[in-house]
Amino acid sequence: MELTCSKEQLQKSVQLAEKHTNKQSSIPTLSGVLLETGKNILLIRSTDLYSGFETKITAQIKKDGYVVVPARPIVSLLSSLNDETIELESRSGSIHIATKNTATTVKTFDPEDFPKLPKIKSGHKVSFKTGDLLANLKGVYFAASDSDVKPEIASVFFKGGSESGVKTAATDSFRLAEKSFKSPLPNTASFLFPARSVADFVKIIEGFDGEVEFSFDSQHLLVSHPLFSYFTRLIDGNFPDYEQIIPGSFSTEASLDKKSLAESLKLAGVFSGRLREVKMRAYPDDNLLEISTSDSELGEHSSRLPAQITGESIEISFNQRYLLEGLEPVSSSGVILRFSGPNKPLLIQSPEDVSYVYLVMPMKSA
């Protein structure tokens, strides 16, 4: 194999591919990235057998071939090079990487048994605009559990067939995020996208426009785009029937500026201690929302924010980080806090976008 290509394009593609390698596997090639020539293209592929990624960049091909390069050294090398173009030439058991001012030789792996991404022979297919998909995933995946004890909640739930279109949801049992968008996903179709895979997939689609096609069955998901393919295994299980816990009525509602609320929560976090507990008090008569916190070692802090408040006065505590993360996907300048009552969950929504719902459970004060 011998070719010349853009250093920037190769670096970007290899960095994305590196996230889907397996550094712990007993199979050495799985810690590497496959480079394979085609007609005026260089294909880059990686897999850890749980997920996989494949993309292609334009290249001037002088000699066809394929090779598996160790991912981490190549990523580090490419990040350190300043030249615009790069020359690659595979030799017996190694690859020679040259720029105008540098020359590097890296040992390679045997490419003969490097896996291909699987095909989905039967199942569902649906297309999403990358912008809509990215907004939805960013709006919910942070709320998924980071523990594999309950795999069904260490995932993002895709559910089709609702009036609002596709619903995506994630929960760790302490908070719930849901976002919906229009798409022709059948009402019989649903799947659990592993949260750890979602985090990597988000980084992939941030760099691509257009549409992606999802092909999935009960076990696997394959995402196709003109410039890349992505594969992951799906989680086998049932997502909690979460819709029944979303309150239908509220005792107190507060509308206020999102930025001011976020800044007050960040300040309160300085004094919230190990448990990150902050207390909210709503004063309907004064149209004020108070945020306070105290810690025996750090001190205490409180701030009052102007708000349009209706209903009853209320005092309730929440995890500061959970509140801040729930505010981030709210796209409007304002935000609505809907309280269900003491010791009941808080619903956070945008006054302008009903597609996003965030539910957070209260903390029990010591």
- Tell me which fold the domain 124-244 belongs to: DNA Polymerase III; Chain A, domain 2 (3.10.150)
Contacts of 189 (CB under 8 A, 6+ apart): 124, 126, 158, 160, 161, 216
* Angle, in degrees to the nearest 10, between helices 320-327 and 258-270: 150
Q: Rounded to the nearest 5 degrees, what angle is found at the Cα of 357, between the Cα atoms of 353 and 361?
A: 150
Q: Give the residue extent of every domain in the chain.
A: 2-107, 124-244, 247-360
**Nearest to 50, CA basis, from 159, 148, 132:** 148
The runs of H, that is alpha helices, within the chain are: 7-18, 71-80, 130-140, 195-205, 258-270, 320-327
Which residue's entry shows tokens 């989680």?
235
Q: Are β-strands 103-107 and 175-181 bridged in parallel, bridged antiparallel, or unpaired? A: unpaired
Could you tell me the CATH superfamily of domain 2-107? DNA Polymerase III, subunit A, domain 2 (3.10.150.10)
DSSP class of 366: -
Answer yes or no: are the C-beta atoms of 191 and 234 closer than 8 Å.
Answer: yes
**Nearest to 159, CA basis, from 197, 120, 126, 188:** 188
Query: Is the four-CA dihedral 205, 209, 215, 216 of positive or negative sign?
Result: positive
Identical topology for domains 2-107 and 124-244: yes
**Nearest to 331, CA basis, from 306, 308, 356, 309:** 356
Structure token pair of residue 61:
């091909």
As a whole number of angstroms, the distance between CA 283 and CA 232 comes to 49
What pTM did the predictor assign? 0.90
CA-based max dimension of the chain? 80
Q: How many residues does the chain have?
A: 366
Per-residue pLDDT of the chain (366 residues; tens, 9 = 90+): 999 999 999 999 999 999 999 888 788 899 999 999 999 999 999 999 999 999 999 999 999 999 999 999 999 999 999 999 999 999 889 999 999 999 999 999 989 889 988 888 888 888 899 999 999 999 999 999 999 899 999 999 999 866 657 899 999 999 999 998 887 776 668 899 999 999 999 999 998 999 999 999 989 999 999 999 999 999 999 999 998 899 989 999 999 999 999 999 999 999 988 889 999 999 999 999 999 998 888 889 999 999 999 999 999 999 999 999 999 999 999 999 999 999 899 999 999 988 999 999 999 854
**Right CATH number for 247-360 from 2.40.160.40, 3.40.50.150, 3.40.50.880, 3.10.150.10?**
3.10.150.10
Query: Is the four-CA dihedral 67, 73, 76, 80 of positive or negative sign?
Result: negative
Structure token pair of residue 234:
């799906």
Coil vs helix vs strand at 299: strand
